[in-house]
Amino acid sequence: MSTQTISKASTWGGGNSPFNVSYGKLMMWVFLLSDAFTFSSLLIGYGALRYSYPSTELAQIESLELGFAQNVQEQFAAPGVDAHHGEHFIPALRDLGIFNEFQWPSPDLVFNHFPFAHGLHLPLIFVSLMTLILILSSVTMVLGVEAGQRGDQKAVSKWMLLTIIGGFMFLGCQAWEWTNFINAGARMWANPYGPPAFAALFFGVTGFHGFHVFSGVVLNIIVYINNLKGTYANRGHYEMVEKVGLYWHFVDLVWVFVFTFFYLI
């Protein structure tokens, strides 16, 4: 058994595992730490740039008298214009001086869309749903890891498949979010809601995170296929599921902070 007493000199003397984990898992942890530094640098840059601009004043937002689930397209449409075509909300708020180049826009005025609820003011609801989808896919992943630790090949297949579906759902949500933002006129260098840095940082950080999610989905599919082929059952253990699981949880962890910084702060 593993409960041998090893003297301190031999702990780091080679031939054993000082951290009591396998080589592959330890190296995954080291990679995740370095990846965490990369994301931290992006979020540190975001925090510094965001507070180099003054926030939108609360009195300005309250003067809009925007209600939850109110139809903003109709409310802000010019008279005689079909409310369902074109963006009336952004030009109206630009005219009111709420969206301008010198103030950081309030995220609940920017990200207030929801699929099949066209024109309604639903702030932060969609991104909360995305967060819950990613947390749920993290749960199915860890249930897959747990099934692997018991050596249950069928359960691993089931949970890995659900994790892959969760990953695709999240990517679909992010594609929808990007499409809305781009259709509103946001580019890497331009932003109708306010300072161009807002759009540049949004595309940069959520794009970087989205590509991590995509890579995670590819890794999950590889593990799923290997498990169907019985690779891990033949090997006698499911450690590859655990290692890919660590990566997938890390992606969830990064999203927690992207959500905190882009949508809440």
Which residues 14-53 are close enough to bind other proteins by CB under 8 A?
14-24, 26, 29, 32-33, 36-37, 40, 43-45, 47-53
Segment interacting with other proteins, rule: CB under 8 A, options 72-80, 146-154, 163-171, 212-220: 146-154
Minimum distance of other proteins from residue 221's CB (angstroms): 20
Segment interacting with other proteins, rule: CB under 8 A, options 109-117, 144-152, 176-184, 186-194: 144-152
CA distance 251 to 2: 32
Minimum distance of other proteins from residue 191's CB (angstroms): 17
Interface with other proteins (CB under 8 A), residue total 73
Q: Which of 1, 154 has the CB closer to other proteins? A: 1
Q: Which of 78, 264 has the CB closer to other proteins? A: 264
CA distance 259 to 206: 10
* Per-residue binder mask for other proteins (CB under 8 A), 94-133, x = binder: --------------x--------------xx---x--xx-
Instruction: Using the structure block, give the residue that is written with the tokens 């509103």.
Output: 184
Minimum distance of other proteins from residue 120's CB (angstroms): 16
The residues pairing with 120 across neighbouring beta strands, listed in sequence order, are 71
Q: Which of 84, 229 has the CB closer to other proteins? A: 229
Cα radius of gyration rounded to whole Å, the chain:
23
Burial class (CB in 10 A: 0-12, 13-18, 19+), 78: exposed
- Give CA separation, 257 vs 36, 251, 264, in Å: 11, 10, 10
CA distance 235 to 188: 47
Residue among 71, 75, 149, 180 that touches other proteins (CB under 8 A)? 149
CA distance 140 to 79: 50
Segment interacting with other proteins, rule: CB under 8 A, options 82-90, 136-144, 183-191, 211-219: 136-144
Instruction: Pick out residues in 235-264 that bind other proteins (CB under 8 A).
Output: 235-237, 239-240, 242, 245-246, 249-250, 252-253, 256-257, 259-260, 264
CA distance 77 to 218: 44
Residue among 64, 83, 142, 184 that touches other proteins (CB under 8 A)? 142
DSSP H stretches of helix in the chain: 8-11, 23-50, 58-63, 72-75, 89-95, 107-110, 125-149, 153-183, 196-229, 231-235, 239-259
CA distance 90 to 133: 29
Q: Which of 77, 261 has the CB closer to other proteins? A: 261
* Per-residue binder mask for other proteins (CB under 8 A), 54-93, x = binder: -x--x-----------------------------------
